[in-house]
Amino acid sequence: MNTKLTVDQAFKELHESLRLVPAERKKAEDVHNTITDQLRAAGLIDGAFLQGSFKRRTMLAPLRDVDKVVLLRGEPGEATPGTAVTAANRIADELRRLYPKFDVTVGKHCVNLDFGEHTFAFDIVPAYDLGDDILIVNTEADDWQESNTRTLIRIIKTRNDDCGLDMFVEAVRAGKLFVRENLDGCVPGLHVESFAYTAIVSEMAPDEALQAIFDAGVTGLQSGGSYTDPTGVDRLDTRLDPTDRQAAYDAFLSAAALAKQAVNERQAGNHNAAIAIWYKILGSDFPKPNEREAVSALWEGHGISRVVTPAATVRAAPTRAWRP
Amino acid sequence: MSYITYADVVGKPHDTCRALRLIMPSVVGSVVTDWSSAVVKLDLQLQPPLELQAHGYQVEQIRIVQRRDATQPVPEAFPSGSARSWLHRNPGADGSPGGALCLWYPEDPPRLCWDWSHGFERFVFLVQRHLETEELVRRGNPWPVEDAPHGHRLDGKPHPILCARR
């Protein structure tokens, strides 16, 4: 690949590759509607809505887990201790009847309907509607707990609208890619959304937005730091295993330093060098720097170590290579 | 401004190795392999810039040889590693392709050549630039700047410089 790209163009390519395929997204939405209609027809639910990163549009391709809430028929007053498991099993049994060829399992907060490893699965959360918040099952405690998932959906959408042209959700996806590539996903996606929500409040250049996410991650993950989910209700930092937290802090710190350098390179007009740094941070989903341009730059007065150590550049005059 | 002089290289080669690693972070390994009254040999490991690491360019091993007599006033650079094709490399003494890299055309004006007044670190830079460019050529690309035709002209004159900006 020897296409010359600017940093903006490279991020645009990245964001395209991380976006869910529209047809796949539409298919998942259609299945969601079908399941809703079927459970409603069975008399089990009054309605349903999508939630999670799929709904918030912060999910990384490829599509896998789709989260939905099913609003159980009845009154929230029925959500008493000792009824959550029964409620989840009632949904699971109906799904097994409707989809006998697919796996249906009951988890802590949801019923999972898996259409196979090569396509998507639904995490279906049985809940009672409280108006805006909901009461969701906790099958381990056989009880119910409040969730403000609608608030979360709403504030992420508002922030994304404020930042314009999906810049916010695209930055979140890039941040999640960093976690996937460098931390084996040990930092859940909602944590990255939290860093982004703290750091990005208006439109920014895509590289500066990702740099801001790394900086916010460093602040939150450092010893003594804390952070909540974007709604400000649930504290997230305490949910990380201490070893994972330290690894995440180290990785975010390193990425923040590299990102700063990449932004400086881009601002100085050295797009290829900046792209090389982003490629190092984000891995092979990011476009590669231009190979020929990189070698040519060595002949045009750029130092060999300019990318990693700007202050220690050694340059040399052009020469004509020869052979007797 | 040059940092590393001829006196440094032949008189304090170990300090030279340390200085190279400080001045040039692309020098990721440096060791003195011979230091005698006749010759100094330094083995260097040169890491490609990030832009080229992304394309799989590997750390290059190079031996730099500086003789301490008047027959060789400038260092020579001998790449090591597996047999590879080279566009600009002198033949060895026995005619094999294992000679030093041909880093500049000796008949060119001084501004297009290296000498000790430029500093040894710039020589190392020339070597690495040459190595990365040879790899680019191996991958099917042309040499990205003007090079001199191989061999000598029959009329004994230097090969003309074609590039107008020079």
- Residue in A closest to B19 by C-alpha: A312
Taking alpha carbons only, the member of A252, A221, A251 closest to residue A239 is A221
pLDDT of residue A169: 96
Whether chain A has a CB inside 8 Å of the CB on B18: the answer is: no
Q: What value does the mean pLDDT take over residues A259-271?
A: 93
Q: What value does the mean pLDDT take over residues B67-93?
A: 85
Instruction: Write out the H or E segment, with its range, that includes residue A47.
Output: strand A45-51
The residues, any chain, with a CB within 8 Å of residue A63's CB and separated by 6 or more, are A20, A21, A24, A25, A28, A54, A120
Q: In the A/B pair of chains, how many CB contacts fall below 8 A?
A: 152
Q: Tell how far CA B16 is from the center of its chain.
A: 16
Q: What value does the mean pLDDT take over residues A226-245?
A: 93
Distance CA B134, CA A187 (A): 43
The yes-or-no verdict on residue A311 having pLDDT over 70 is no
Whether chain A has a CB inside 8 Å of the CB on B166: the answer is: yes
Confidence bin at A235 (pLDDT 50/70/90): very high
With CB atoms and an 8 Å threshold, state whether A304 touches B128.
yes
Segments of chain B assigned E as strands: 27-35, 39-46, 60-67, 76-79
pLDDT of residue B41: 97
Confidence bin at A315 (pLDDT 50/70/90): low
The residues, any chain, with a CB within 8 Å of residue A144's CB and separated by 6 or more, are A79, A80, A81, A83, A84, A128, A135, A136, A137, A138
Half-sphere exposure of A323 (CA within 13 A, CB side): 14
The yes-or-no verdict on residue A78 having pLDDT over 50 is yes
ipTM of the complex: 0.91
Q: Which residue, among B23, B50, B59, B134, would best test binding to A if mutated, counting the most A CBs under 10 Å from its CB?
A: B50
The yes-or-no verdict on residue A310 having pLDDT over 50 is no
Q: Where are the domains of chain B?
A: 6-138
Whether chain B has a CB inside 8 Å of the CB on A311: the answer is: no
Q: Where are the domains of chain A?
A: 21-147, 153-289
Whether chain A has a CB inside 8 Å of the CB on B26: the answer is: yes
As to burial, measured by CB atoms within 10 angstroms (0-12 exposed, 13-18 middle, 19+ buried), residue A127 is buried
pLDDT of residue B161: 85
pLDDT of residue B160: 84
pLDDT of residue A140: 95
**Which residues make beta-bridge pairs with A104?**
A113
Q: In this prediction, what percent of chain A has a pLDDT beyond 90? A: 81
The yes-or-no verdict on residue A63 having pLDDT over 60 is yes
With CB atoms and an 8 Å threshold, state whether A312 touches B25.
yes
Residue B122 CB coordination number (10 Å): 21
Instruction: Write out the H or E segment, with its range, that includes residue A71.
Output: strand A65-72
Q: What value does the mean pLDDT take over residues A30-38?
A: 96
> What is the topology classification, in CATH, of domain A153-289?
Poly(a)-polymerase, middle domain (1.10.1410)
pLDDT digits (tens, 9 = 90+) for A104-150: 999 999 999 999 888 889 999 999 999 999 999 999 999 999 999 99
Asked if CATH classification 3.30.420.40 holds for the domain at A21-147, the reply, yes or no, is: no
Confidence bin at A299 (pLDDT 50/70/90): confident
Amino acid code (one letter) for A293 = E
The yes-or-no verdict on residue A307 having pLDDT over 80 is no
- Residue in B closest to A271 by C-alpha: B51
Amino acid code (one letter) for B103 = L
The residues, any chain, with a CB within 8 Å of residue B145's CB and separated by 6 or more, are A296, A299, A318, A320, B163
Taking the alpha carbons of A48, A53, A59, A64 in that order, is the dihedral positive or negative?
A: negative
pTM of the model: 0.87
Whether chain B has a CB inside 8 Å of the CB on A289: the answer is: yes
**Which residues make beta-bridge pairs with A72?**
A45
Phi and psi dihedrals of A320, rounded to 5?
A: -105, 110
